[in-house]
């Protein structure tokens, strides 16, 4: 490749042609990277959470080492913002939770809304979230529970007197502090992403959206409770998910457009085979995911759902979108079945179990698994070589063997 700007366009075009199911010269190599950006390059997980800019030299070394066709945008939640907001939905390394510096960021399933609050939520969604959910989810914002928009809209100036209450003042001050911490982090994120592009590599994961089912389950009702509600209160749950999508889908698309993203990453947390039956998936999960994907496609963006967990039983359902418009990435799927269902219709990615890149594996095992996956999935195009789980503590030797095998066996002759 002659220069880095041409290299960026060439790599991006390879992905676009693969999505469009065109015959290319080779299978794209797109590793999913998590904490490996830190652990694989002499940093702790806590360091990029404290300052994302420590990864700038790491990106130079990473693309030199592995020359991927797309780079997963580094994702490390900023510890300063988490702490200033009193974020209760996760634990992370550092003194705030008294956890070691290499403790993986860990999501915690929380119920911020009770079963008997569905009707209250539907009467006033925004008001409910501000009074009931946000003060619990972000403990530094508890004073918001004392505010009422209808009261504050009254004619008398005294209607906004609650703004002077100490808990409300504290909440507003903490919100500003958390926002400032996020603004500083996002400057660093923008620098990092721009640097990757300047090196000649397109990004994936720099624009992220969440399907309404997962967003509501993860952040409001709790995953376990939402799965139960799916059986006990399906109509109310569906109504909430429709309204959730009304607000979040246009906002997410607008943000993706402003950032200049072409690909929108959609991690699917709740739709795996072991979480719900195919019938429940088709009734309660897929309609909202399809709505999101179709909105992205209509906006000339490429949805990239990451199907977490076992997903083989859902393959036919996933083809209920226009051909050549999306990328499905799989953690655990029958590759032969996926090729049979998706061939000629939708691009998909997978092929390498991340466990094979960890200690205890071998270069021979990695090469064999890569070759077998490519023999099944590469013919006819529309396949991206990637790994099952985001990489954290894996071995450079096996990663390099995987990259070498993909380049060797992934050529179209």
DSSP structure string for 5-31: HHHHHHHHHHHHHHHTT---SB--B--
Map residue 199 onto helix, strand or coil.
coil
Q: Who contacts 339 (Cβ-Cβ below 8 Å, separation ≥6)?
A: 376, 377, 383
Across the chain, mean pLDDT equals 95
Would you state the structure tokens that stand for residue 187, as one six-digit string?
Answer: 């400057």
CB neighbours of residue 113 within 10 Å: 23
pLDDT number for residue 1 = 46
Phi, psi of 264 (to 5 degrees): -120, 115
Q: Could you tell me if 33 and 72 are in contact, meaning their C-beta atoms sit under 8 angstroms apart?
A: yes
179: pLDDT confidence band, cut at 50, 70 and 90? very high
CB neighbours of residue 311 within 10 Å: 24
> Any idea what DSSP says for residue 107?
E
pLDDT number for residue 166 = 97
CB neighbours of residue 230 within 10 Å: 21
CA distance 140 to 135: 7
Map residue 157 onto helix, strand or coil.
helix
Q: Using one digit for the tens of pLDDT, what is the confidence trace for 302-338?
A: 999 999 999 999 999 999 999 999 999 999 999 999 9
pLDDT number for residue 275 = 86
Question: Could you tell me how many residues make up the chain?
Answer: 413
Q: Using one digit for the tens of pLDDT, what is the confidence trace for 56-76?
A: 999 999 999 999 999 999 999
Long-range interactions of 254-262: CB distance < 8 A, separation 24+: 255/207, 256/207, 256/209, 256/296, 256/299, 256/301, 257/299, 257/301, 259/206, 259/207, 261/203, 261/206, 261/207, 261/301, 262/12, 262/16, 262/202, 262/301, 262/302
pLDDT number for residue 226 = 95
Phi, psi of 307 (to 5 degrees): -85, 95
> What radius of gyration do the chain's Cα atoms show?
23
User: Quick one: what percent of the chain has pLDDT higher than 70?
Assistant: 99
Q: Using one digit for the tens of pLDDT, what is the confidence trace for 123-173?
A: 999 999 999 999 999 999 999 999 998 899 988 999 999 999 999 999 999
Q: Could you tell me if 112 and 133 are in contact, meaning their C-beta atoms sit under 8 angstroms apart?
A: yes
Q: Using one digit for the tens of pLDDT, what is the confidence trace for 358-386?
A: 999 999 999 999 999 999 999 999 999 99
Map residue 190 onto helix, strand or coil.
helix
Would you state the structure tokens that stand for residue 149, as one six-digit string?
Answer: 């928009």
Please give the C-alpha separations between residue 307 and each of 53, 91, 127, 315, 318, in angstroms, as whole numbers.
30, 24, 33, 10, 10
- Average of per-residue pLDDT across 8-29: 96
List, in sequence order, every residue forming a beta bridge with 350; answer none if it has no partner: 385
340: pLDDT confidence band, cut at 50, 70 and 90? very high
pLDDT number for residue 23 = 86
CA distance 156 to 152: 9
Which residue's entry shows tokens 């397109």? 202
CB neighbours of residue 5 within 10 Å: 12
Q: Using one digit for the tens of pLDDT, what is the confidence trace for 230-259?
A: 999 999 999 999 999 999 999 999 999 999
pLDDT number for residue 2 = 59
Give all domains of the chain, ordered by start, each with its CATH number.
4-31+201-409 (3.20.20.210)
Start-to-end C-alpha separation, the chain: 20
């Amino acid at each position: 490749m002659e220069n880095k700007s041409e290299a960026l366009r060439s790599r991006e075009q390879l992905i676009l042609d693969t999505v469009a199911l065109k015959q290319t010269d080779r299978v794209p190599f797109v590793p999913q990277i998590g904490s490996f950006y830190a652990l694989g390059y002499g940093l702790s997980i806590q360091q990029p959470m404290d300052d994302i800019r420590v990864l700038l030299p790491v990106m130079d070394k990473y693309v030199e080492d592995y020359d991927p066709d797309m780079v997963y945008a580094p994702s490390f939640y900023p510890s300063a913002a988490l702490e200033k907001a009193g974020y209760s939905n996760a634990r992370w390394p550092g003194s705030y939770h008294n956890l070691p510096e290499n403790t993986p960021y860990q999501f915690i399933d929380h119920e911020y809304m009770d079963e008997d609050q569905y009707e209250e939520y539907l009467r006033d969604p925004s008001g409910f979230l501000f009074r009931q959910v946000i003060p619990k989810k972000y403990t530094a914002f508890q004073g918001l529970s004392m505010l009422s928009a209808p009261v504050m809209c009254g004619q008398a100036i005294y209607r906004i007197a609650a703004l002077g209450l100490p808990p409300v003042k504290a909440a507003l001050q903490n919100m500003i502090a958390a926002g400032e911490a996020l603004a500083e982090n996002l400057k660093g994120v923008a620098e990092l992403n721009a640097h990757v592009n300047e090196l000649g590599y397109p990004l994936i994961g720099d624009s992220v959206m969440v399907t309404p089912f997962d967003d509501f389950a993860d952040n409001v009702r709790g995953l376990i409770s939402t799965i139960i509600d799916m059986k006990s209160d399906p109509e109310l749950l569906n109504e909430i998910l429709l309204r959730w999508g009304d607000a979040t889908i246009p906002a997410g698309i607008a943000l993706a457009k402003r950032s200049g993203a072409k690909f929108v990453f959609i991690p699917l947390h709740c739709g795996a085979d072991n979480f719900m039956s195919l019938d429940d998936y088709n009734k309660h999960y897929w309609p909202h995911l399809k709505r999101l994907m179709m909105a992205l496609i209509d906006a000339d963006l490429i949805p990239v759902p990451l199907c977490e967990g076992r997903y083989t039983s859902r393959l036919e359902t996933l083809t209920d979108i226009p051909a050549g418009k999306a990328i499905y990435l799989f953690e655990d799927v029958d590759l032969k079945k996926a090729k049979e269902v998706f061939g000629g219709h939708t691009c998909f990615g997978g092929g390498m179990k991340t466990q094979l890149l960890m200690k205890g594996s071998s270069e021979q095992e990695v090469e064999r698994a890569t070759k077998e996956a490519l023999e099944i999935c590469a013919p006819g195009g529309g396949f991206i070589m990637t790994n099952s789980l985001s990489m954290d503590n894996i071995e450079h030797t096996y990663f390099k063997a995987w990259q070498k095998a993909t380049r060797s066996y992934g050529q179209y002759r």
